[in-house]
Amino acid sequence: MAALRGRYLNPGAYLDPEAFDAETNAKIDRLADSYEMTGDEFRTGLRNLQGASMAAGGSNRLNTPDPTIPQDLGAAAFFDVDNTLIKGASLLVFARGLARKKFFTVGEILQFLWMQAKFRVMGKENAGDIASGRQQALQLVAGHKEQDLIQLGEEIWAQNMAERIFPGTKELADKHLRAGHEVWLVTASPVQLAQIIARELGFTGALGTVTEVKDGKFTGNMVGDILHGPGKKHAVLALAASEGLDLERCTAYSDSSNDLPMLSMVGTAVAVNPDSELRRIAKARDWEIRDYRRTRRILKRYGAPAAGAAAVAGGYWIKRR
């Protein structure tokens, strides 16, 4: 696979993927082909970047790097959120919080919970149900003000979500930051909620599923991909091409075999709290495996000092590459 060295697109080019000239389109097609995707799939990833940038107020970068840390340009870490960084489904936690704050009607919440119950009964995700569930979630926010969702989401983060962080995974992300690497969240949850998490944790930015916004309100229409499975790969490649990241020097973290497309496109893949299928594949490919579920149980039962010791014992040091 080709490593991305230098910027493949002009700065800001991804902000208008419909306006690419012939030279840029040819460059996109060649790059996409080297990563076993079509040019149209890559352009869809670029639309996710456009949506993330608009949701963040014009820039995908949510936090400024520590000026005292030399930046290792081109190196980045990509973290899945659900059951990798945070215990459980982040969207479900946010939806419950929004229901308590009367953001949704009772009928809307019952519809959403029915879909979540279906996923739990089935015991695993599949692409069709994920797509259907996310589309229903997008429709739930139609007509609501984007700023209202962000404001309530920040409150829900502080009240219900921050305590669900896996300390070991957070420490991995912090080590990347201390090494001068960028740290990005890549999740199927709405991009506004992903950006709240990234901003609060001091990460570089976040990519998530994008809902169209017009006149400050959600339309219920999706922009780009649902960031699940191949959708994450499309968005990460678009980000790397736009920001000059070298994917051979990047690391990806996930708990789910559904994220194999993203895990397989970077130089280093790490299985965190892996499902059985990802654990099997990680062992076969000699990938690092980290399981912090026990650490979180220690934190809940014995407090932060014991959990911190367990996280250090179970973690590993990120070396500058």
The tally of CA atoms less than 13 A away on the side-chain side of residue 174 is: 11
Q: What pLDDT, on a 0 to 100 scale, did the predictor assign at position 113?
A: 61
In a domain? residue 90: yes
Within a domain: residue 17? no
Q: Is 315 exposed, middle or buried (0-12, 13-18, 19+ CB in 10 A)?
A: middle
The whole domain housing 113 covers 22-60+73-305
The CA distances from residue 9 to 21, 183, 204, in Å, are 11, 21, 20
Is 313 contained in some domain? Answer: no
CB 296 within 8 A of CB 277: no
In a domain? residue 67? no
What does pLDDT average to in each consecutive run of 10 residues of the chain (321 residues)?
43 55 87 89 92 92 97 98 94 82 72 57 53 66 90 92 96 98 96 96 96 92 89 95 94 98 98 98 98 66 46 39 35
Q: What is the DSSP string of 216-229?
A: TEEEEEEES--SST
Strands 251-254 and 217-223, bridge-based pairing = unpaired
**281 lies in some domain:** yes
Q: Are 253 and 77 in contact (CB under 8 A)?
A: yes
Dihedral sign (CA 195, 103, 232, 54): negative
Tokens of 67: 């000026």
- Which residues are bridge partners to 250 per DSSP? none
The answer to whether residue 264 is domain-embedded is yes
Q: Total domain count for the chain?
A: 1
Which residues pair with residue 300 across a beta bridge?
none
What's the length of the chain?
Answer: 321
The reported pLDDT for the residue numbered 137 is 66
Calculate the CA dihedral of residues 230, 234, 235, 240 and round it to 10 degrees.
Answer: 130
In a domain, 68, yes or no: no
Handedness of CA 8, 13, 18, 24 (dihedral sign): negative
Task: Give the whole-angstrom CA distance, residue 184 versus residue 46.
Answer: 16
SS (H, E, C) 114-144: HHHHHHHHHCCCCHHHHHHHHHHHHHHCCCC
The pLDDT of residue 131: 58
Q: What is the CATH number of the domain that holds 279?
A: 3.40.50.1000
Indicate left, alpha or beta for 48 from its phi (over 0: left) and psi (-120 to 50: alpha). alpha
Residue 262 has a pLDDT of 98
56 contacts 15 by C-beta, under 8 angstroms: no
pLDDT at residue 14, rounded to an integer: 44
Q: Which residues carry out catalysis?
A: 80, 82
Instruction: For residue 315, tell me if it sits in a domain.
Output: no
DSSP summary character for residue 286: T
Separation of alpha carbons 204 and 201, rounded Å: 9
> In this predicted structure, what is the pLDDT of residue 139?
73
| Residue 15: exposure state from Cβ atoms within 10 A (0-12, 13-18, ≥19) | middle
Secondary structure letter of residue 145 according to DSSP: B
* Of 241, 243, 236, nearest in space to 263 by CA: 236
